[in-house]
């Protein structure tokens, strides 16, 4: 246990906090290299709206906004104040939807993205890996051949092109699913069976576009990995020893081929915090991708920083969780 803490757990926790520290520091530095001043931009928007503003009121407003955006004092003082606000969960107000806090905007968009992308990634990962292993172990099966051809066909297609194809086919030509949004306009958000069914119906089409593309990639990757493992000596020995095909497939082939796929899954789960930007724009889905687009278009640097911080923490946390559970899948790590 002591060796595990000293040689495995503590170094990875150190890497985890170091990645977050460096990433958050970069999110502090990069926006401040921009020539745009968020305080002056906010004041200019108010004066350009045609409203008469007293010069003294403008001065007080400038001081209040400077304090609110954490721009008071030297760069080092701003940096310390920035970490202090961040540890309190305060990312400041959004410039584009002032004075709404950035945390409120992210809290409103993140559950939609996690619910959609997490489900789509897990389904595509499980189905793609399973069919990839089956296609490699049973190369003459007609169904596996068909899935192989379909995976080769859809893999090079960008997911946003697939989203457009799905939208045209199943929302316009054959109107099975709604074509936009997470729920109809005017619907009250509440945790009821009727509302949940409405959300699932609206999410089915964007999720399907992600699953189809993701499944093709996982399928091809798993098939390539298992094709090499099938010829290994221990697999041949297991076959000659008379073990069942199911035992060989799941305990000898898939288990060994799954390790790189688990690493890829952890990275995919971390990127969920970015959102599938173009897909969410195509379907009008109110997730992190749509929020990111709005932040970039409005030059809302507070919101951009908040989204970047959540993305950094999400990726780092996913990799940390992978490192902690990896010994369960690979005995060599436990041995070391």
Q: Is the pLDDT of residue 220 over 80?
A: yes
Mean pLDDT over each residue of the chain, to the nearest integer: 77
Q: How confident is the model at residue 70 (pLDDT cuts 50, 70, 90)?
A: low
Q: Which of 258, 262, 235 is nearest to 137 (CA)?
A: 235
Of the listed ranges 19-28, 260-269, 270-279, the one predicted with least confidence: 270-279
Residue range 146-178, pLDDT digits in tens: 888 888 787 777 777 777 887 888 878 877 877
Q: Is the pLDDT of residue 325 over 70?
A: yes
Q: Cβ distance 283 to 167 under 8 Å?
A: yes
pLDDT score at 53? 58
Please state the rounded mean pLDDT for residues 105-128: 85
Please state the rounded mean pLDDT for residues 262-284: 72
Residue range 201-216, pLDDT digits in tens: 888 888 888 888 888 8
pLDDT score at 287? 81
Domains of the chain: residue spans and CATH:
110-288 (1.10.3720.10)
pLDDT score at 222? 86
Residue range 235-272, pLDDT digits in tens: 888 878 878 888 888 888 888 888 788 878 877 776 66
Cα separation, 191 vs 304, in Å, equals 30
């Amino acid at each position: 246990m002591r060796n595990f803490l000293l040689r495995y757990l503590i170094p990875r926790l150190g890497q985890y906090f170091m990645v977050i520290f460096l990433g958050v520091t970069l999110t502090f530095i990069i926006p401040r290299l921009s020539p745009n001043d968020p305080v002056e931009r906010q004041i200019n928007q108010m004066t350009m709206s045609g409203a008469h503003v007293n010069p003294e009121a403008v001065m007080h407003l400038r001081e209040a906004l400077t304090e609110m955006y954490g721009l008071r004092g030297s760069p080092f003082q701003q940096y310390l104040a920035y970490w202090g606000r961040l540890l309190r969960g305060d990312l400041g107000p959004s410039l584009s939807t002032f004075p709404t806090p950035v945390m409120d905007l992210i809290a409103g968009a993140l559950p939609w993205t996690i619910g959609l992308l997490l489900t789509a990634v897990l389904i595509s990962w499980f189905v793609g890996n399973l069919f990839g292993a089956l296609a490699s172990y049973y190369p003459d099966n007609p169904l596996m051949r068909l899935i192989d051809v379909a995976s080769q066909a859809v893999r090079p297609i960008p997911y946003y092109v697939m989203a457009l194809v799905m939208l045209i086919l199943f929302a316009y030509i054959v109107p099975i699913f709604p074509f936009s949004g997470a729920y109809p306009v005017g619907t009250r958000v509440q945790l009821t069976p009727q509302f949940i069914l409405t959300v699932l119906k609206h999410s089915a089409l964007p999720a399907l576009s992600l699953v189809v593309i993701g499944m093709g990639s996982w399928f091809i990757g798993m098939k390539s990995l298992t094709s090499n493992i099938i010829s290994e000596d221990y697999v041949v020995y297991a076959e000659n020893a008379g073990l069942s095909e199911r035992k060989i497939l799941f305990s000898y082939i898939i288990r060994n081929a799954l390790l790189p796929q688990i690493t890829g899954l952890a990275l995919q789960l971390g990127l969920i915090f970015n959102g599938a930007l173009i897909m969410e724009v195509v379907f009008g889905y109110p997730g992190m991708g749509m929020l990111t687009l709005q932040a970039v278009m409005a030059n809302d640097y507070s919101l951009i920083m908040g989204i970047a911080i959540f993305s950094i923490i999400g990726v780092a946390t996913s990799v940390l969780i992978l490192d902690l559970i990896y010994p369960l899948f690979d005995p060599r790590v436990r041995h070391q």
